[in-house]
Amino acid sequence: MLKSRADRYGAVAVSIHWLSAILIIALLGSGFRAANAGDAAAKAGILRFHIPVAIVVLLLTALRIAWWRFDRKPLPVQGSPRWQERIARWIHLAFYVVILGMVASGIGMMVLSGAAPAVFGAPGAILPNFTQYPPRVPHGIGGFLIVGLLILHAGAALYHQFVRRDRLLRRMWYSG
């Protein structure tokens, strides 16, 4: 079942969701490590992982946005109050906005600083100090925003699963 139904997400949406979740957590870990790396060679090494993974997340996000033209989101969870539905919708939208903002500010940092040769190992190229470039500010704020969104999003899913016991997580998994 590739497409979603009224009561659950389809295989395409489920695959994009969990793959993006794993890669975004990897981006947060590698991003904070890169920002705190004292040694330029170590920072460049981390960024050689961080940047390609971010490009994959961009492609998955674009695919996800395109896919919703062919697929329809399931109905809201039965019995949830309207305010919870509304907050869930805002959090989902915020993920798209912040992820695209992170990709844009990351690219902005790389373009303005001309860091690509140093990151990708050109001999003699020196890694710049990214904090001197304006897109570094939204990139740093966006990292913390994603952490906050993840806590709210995963917290809500766990609340449904274990407090309301409505088996919500099954909606975001492959149907048997």
- List of residues contacting ligand HEM (CB under 6 A): 24, 27-28, 31-32, 34-35, 43, 47, 50-51, 54, 57, 99, 102-103, 106-107, 109-110, 130-131, 136, 139-140, 143, 146
What is the smallest separation between the CB atom of 137 and ligand HEM, expressed in angstroms?
9
What is the smallest separation between the CB atom of 22 and ligand HEM, expressed in angstroms?
12
Task: Pick the closer one to ligand HEM by CB: 4 or 113.
Answer: 113
In three state form, how does the secondary structure of the chain look?
CCCCECCECCHHHHHHHHHHHHHHHHHHHHHHHHHHCCCHHHHHHHHHHHHHHHHHHHHHHHHHHHHCCCCCCCCCCCCCCHHHHHHHHHHHHHHHHHHHHHHHHHHHHHHHHCCHHHHCCCCCCCCCCHHHCCCHHHHHHHHHHHHHHHHHHHHHHHHHHHHHCCCHHHHHCCCC
Task: Pick the closer one to ligand HEM by CB: 51 or 171.
Answer: 51
Amino acid (1-letter code) at residue 57: V
What is the smallest separation between the CB atom of 50 and ligand HEM, expressed in angstroms?
6
Task: Pick the closer one to ligand HEM by CB: 74 or 143.
Answer: 143
What is the smallest separation between the CB atom of 3 and ligand HEM, expressed in angstroms?
26
Task: Pick the closer one to ligand HEM by CB: 13 or 54.
Answer: 54
What is the smallest separation between the CB atom of 102 and ligand HEM, expressed in angstroms?
4
Q: Which of 71, 63, 94, 66 lies closest to 9, judged by CA?
A: 71
Task: Pick the closer one to ligand HEM by CB: 65 or 75.
Answer: 65
